[in-house]
Copies of this chain bind each other. A is one copy, B any other.
Amino acid sequence: MATEDFIASISPAPVEEPESSWGSDPANGADLRFLGVVRGTENGRPILGIEYTCYAAMAEKELTAICRDLLRAHPGHKVLIHHRIGFVSAGVASLVIRVRTPHSAEAFDLAREYLKRIKSTVPVWKTVRFQNA
């Protein structure tokens, strides 16, 4: 889902992909990007990566609802969110949240709020793939 104010997607595409088409924006002095990266260990054991699965339609609908809701509450910002699904290797990002606002304080507050809501309401499941498993 994409409007003038937000892009929200869930797909096997790398997180860099939706970002590449998000041009510059001289209206906003703050551009904050959070990347959620797959860590190399799980409970101390080295892993190859994580397999992410979801009901794509439901997850994308939920992501879109979060964007619409926060844009209504805090008009005037722009946001791009992409959750990668399928297998993501250790050290690679599975989630990007990018927020643009006129000033920095609101960018930090909003990105944090997007992250909190995504974690609590978007239905994505993880399966850890261990090395030599």
Contacts and interface: CB of A to CB of B under 8 A. Distances in A.
A106 to B, nearest CB: 12
Given A29-B36, A30-B35, A31-B34, 15 more contacts: A24-B37, A25-B37, A25-B91, A26-B37, A26-B39, A26-B90, A27-B39, A28-B37, A29-B38, A30-B34, A30-B36, A32-B35, A32-B111, A33-B35, A108-B111
B29 A37 contact: yes
A12 interface: no
Interface of A: 24-41, 90-93, 102, 104, 107-108, 111-112, 115
A81 B99 CA distance: 19
B26 A104 contact: no
A90 B26 CA distance: 6
Contacts of A36: 29-30, 104
